[in-house]
Amino acid sequence: MILEWLGKVGNFSLTMLIVTLYGLLVGAFIERVIAKVQGRIGIPYSQPFINILKNFFKRTAVSHGYMFYLGPVFRIAGGIGTLAFIPVIYGSEMFSNFSMAGDLFLVIYFMFFGQLGMALGAGESGHPYSAIGIARGLSQMTAYEVPFALAVIAIVIQYDTLSITEIVAAQQGGWQHWTLFTNWVATLAAMLAFLGMTGYSPFDIFLAPQEIPIGPPTEFHSAYLSLLQTNRALFGATKLILFMNLFFGGATGWIELMIKTLLIYMVAIVVGVAFPRFRVDQGIRFFFKIPTLIGIMSIIYVQLVLIS
Amino acid sequence: MIKTLGTEDTLENAGLSAEEQQLFSNARPRAYEPYPIKAVEDFANWARANSLWILAFGTGCGAIELRPLMTARFDANRFGVAGRPTPRQSSVFVIGGYASVKTLKRIIRSYEQMQGPKFVIALGICPVNGGMYFDSYNTVNRFDQYLPVDLYITGCMPRPEVLVAGIMELQKKIKAGRCDGANRYVENFDWYKANQKKVIKNWDMPDYNW
């Protein structure tokens, strides 16, 4: 029993390592794509790794209190917790993590958890711009969670299960079984929510480096920042894997996973390099209008067309 | 939570009122030894040299030369250089030309909030000897009397190419372990502080901005 459990933890650690490394590489690749659009060469692929090392090797660090320490810890706990309950590779015992019946609920909860922990930590730092960044970030998150939750409810009704593994299993047997093609309305709502989730333009007001110095992590530095950067890569890749599992048929191998997640990410990048930034009130209005309507329509679509 | 230390290693914070003294830390900064194993220190220096985050604080006319660095023509991102809006996260402070007394106060505040090891590049001739403002009533002439400088790039104004060359020179110095401005500042803290207070008349901030 204990050996089996230890083996599972070992497998999960390996998954976490691969996903984090992949997330950092994808981050560098995306930076280079954006640089090419702007006519530049861009950062080397090793840059995200060097940045994390540099911050780790800083000699000094200032604390603002206990909650300030715990902010990045909660954040990375949210990232690890989200990954822990997502089956990464379909059909692989080794990379199915702690997936179980009803893990979709847990995953959605954990996605929220990290943000709230970060809000507490950044609030403790006492920097006014952190508070503004958090107010903007949380309000935008509340807005994009609505279409995402509606899309998830739609596919839960469609496949009649709360287990991500079963949702992936239902999409096997050819691309025409993917949620993208069987329930394109829900996928559209979720992909619009995905634009807000990734934090690229036009929904990057909460990070706004020039107006409110980098937003919530303004005061985080040294090892705290390297923890946050690691989480950014891990959590970003985890969200991509979740979207791939729910809407794009999952993956049966690492190569398929990488191709699919990269293409999903490119949606946010193509929109990001082409559009300027929304103000926070514009962003919230946008999410509450079209994507929410599409989300409601997806449930009606499932109920009227797919089930009956 | 503010830690108030004993008298032997504390700062006076005389510029603050009694009420404000409760709000700021009075700890004295301390110097940091390099890692005892040379390979670890060299590796850390390599990482520091290849990830230079410049504080986005334009302190003089030279700030205009910093903007083209990130554009398609010069693209300093290739060398690991990035702009960072907050002093907490940045490691390089580019003094862009003349430093007026009013700006010097803000420069000191920002510099002390940066986390070590931190590097200062003095851009242009003004931080060296005052340049064309040598007899101005509100400009400091020798900048290294107020903060430790790691690298000078002279000229009026140096073009962005020169700045890129300077950054690469700074990377070489960091890799060789010869950039310890933060330690020098702490070791000669009283001398630097006395110089700063000589020119900044309205000193209403803590002696070290943690």
pLDDT at B9 over 80: no
pLDDT value, residue B34? 87
Reported confidence tier of residue B11, pLDDT bands at 50, 70, 90: confident
A10 interface with B at CB cutoff 8 Å: no
> Per-residue pLDDT for B96 more than 70?
yes
Structural contact between residues A168 and A248, judged by C-beta atoms closer than 8 angstroms: no
**What are the CA-CA distances from residue A283 to residues A47, A118, A195, A204, B115 (Å)?**
31, 21, 11, 10, 35
SS3 string, A272-301, reads HHHCCCCCHHHHHHHHHHHHHHHHHHHHHH
3-state per-residue secondary structure call for B14-81: CCCCHHHHCCCCCECCCCCCCCCCHHHHHHHHHHHHCCEEEECCCCCCCHHHHHHHHCCCCCHHHHCE
In chain B, domain spans: 18-199
Smallest CA–CA distance, residue B48 to chain A, in Å, is: 5
CB B181 within 8 A of CB B119: yes
B210/A209 Cβ within 8 A? no
Residue B154 φ/ψ, nearest 5 degrees: -95, 170
Query: For chain B, percent helix, then strand, then coil, each to nearest 5?
Result: 40, 10, 50
Chain A residue closest to B115 (CA)? Answer: A60
A307 phi and psi, to 5 degrees? Answer: -90, -45
Q: Which residues of A touch B72 (CB under 8 A)?
A: 38-40
**Band of the pLDDT at B1, cuts 50, 70, 90?**
very low
Chain B residues within 8 angstroms (CB to CB) of chain A:
1, 32, 44, 47-48, 50-51, 56, 71-72, 75, 77-78, 80, 83-86, 88-89, 91, 115-117, 182, 210
B106: nearest Cα among B149, B52, B163, B58:
B58
Residues 224-243 of A with CB under 8 A from B: 225
A128 touches chain B (CB under 8 A): no
Gap between the Cα atoms of A186 and A192, Å rounded: 10
Distance from CA of A219 to the nearest CA of B (A): 6
To the nearest whole number, what is the mean pLDDT of chain B?
88
A277: left (phi over 0), alpha (psi -120 to 50) or beta: beta
pTM: 0.90
Q: How far is A293 from chain B (nearest CA, A)?
A: 38
Q: Which of A214, A185, A202 is nearest to A143 (CA)?
A: A202
DSSP-derived secondary structure letter, B8 = T
Task: Determine the Cα–Cα distance for residues A188 and A294; give it in Å rounded to an integer.
Answer: 7
Chain A hits for B51, CB-CB cut-off 8 Å, are 47, 50-51, 53-54
B85–A209 CB contact, under 8 Å: yes
pLDDT above 70 for B4:
no
Above 90 in pLDDT, residue B65?
no
Q: Is the Cβ–Cβ distance between B173 and B48 less than 8 Å? A: no
pLDDT category of residue B131 using cuts at 50, 70 and 90 = confident
What is the nearest CA distance from A237 to chain B, expressed in angstroms? Answer: 23
Crossing angle between the packed helical segments A2-37 and A254-274, to the nearest 10 degrees = 40
Q: Residue A17: left if φ>0, alpha if ψ -120 to 50, beta else—which one?
A: alpha
Q: A42 CB near a chain B CB, below 8 Å?
A: yes
- CB atoms under 10 Å from CB of B5, counted, come to 12
Q: Does domain B18-199 have CATH number 3.30.300.30?
A: no
Q: What is the pLDDT of residue A210?
A: 64
pLDDT digits (tens, 9 = 90+) for B146-205: 999 999 999 888 899 999 999 999 999 999 988 888 899 999 999 999 999 999 998 888
pLDDT of residue A209: 65
How close B59 gets to chain A, by Cα (Å)?
16
- pLDDT band at B7; cut points 50, 70, 90: low
- Please tell me the predicted confidence (pLDDT) of residue B8: 59
Per-residue pLDDT for chain A (308 aa), expressed as one digit of tens each? 888 889 889 999 999 999 999 999 999 999 999 999 989 998 999 999 999 999 999 888 888 888 888 888 888 998 998 999 999 998 888 888 888 888 898 888 888 888 888 888 888 888 888 888 888 888 888 899 999 999 999 999 999 999 999 999 999 988 888 989 999 999 999 999 999 888 887 888 777 666 677 778 888 888 888 998 999 999 999 999 999 999 998 899 999 999 999 999 999 999 988 888 888 889 899 999 999 999 999 999 998 888 77
**Residue of A31, A46, A54 best to disrupt the B interface, most CBs of B under 10 A:** A54
User: CB distance from A218 to chain B under 8 Å?
Assistant: yes
Q: A63, A124 in Cβ contact below 8 A? A: no
pLDDT tens digits, B107-119: 999 999 998 889 9
Tokens of A286: 């946008």
Q: Distance between CA atoms of A175 and A178, rounded to whole angstroms? A: 5
How many whole angstroms separate alpha carbon B88 and alpha carbon A124?
15
User: Which band of pLDDT confidence, cut at 50, 70 and 90, is reported for residue B6?
Assistant: low
Q: Which of A110-114, A265-269, B36-40, B73-77 has the lowest mean pLDDT?
A: A110-114
Query: Using a CB-CB distance cutoff of 8 angstroms, which residues of chain B are in contact with residue A53?
Result: 44, 47, 51
CB-CB contact of A194 with A202 (8 Å): no
Q: Identify whether A202 is preceded by a cis peptide bond (ω within 30 of 0).
A: yes
**Predicted local confidence at residue B29, as pLDDT:** 87
For A47, the closest of B56, B80, B88 (CB atoms) is B80
Q: Angle at which helices A128-159 and A103-125 pack, to 10 degrees?
A: 180
For A94-100, which contacts have Cβ atoms below 8 Å and span 24 or more sequence positions? A94/A11, A94/A14, A95/A11, A95/A15, A96/A165, A97/A11, A97/A12, A97/A15, A98/A8, A98/A12, A99/A163, A99/A164, A99/A165, A100/A163
Which residues of chain A lie closer than 8 angstroms to B44, CB-CB? 53, 57
**How is the beta sheet containing B52-55 ordered, strand by strand?**
B81-84, B52-55, B92-96, B119-123, B151-153
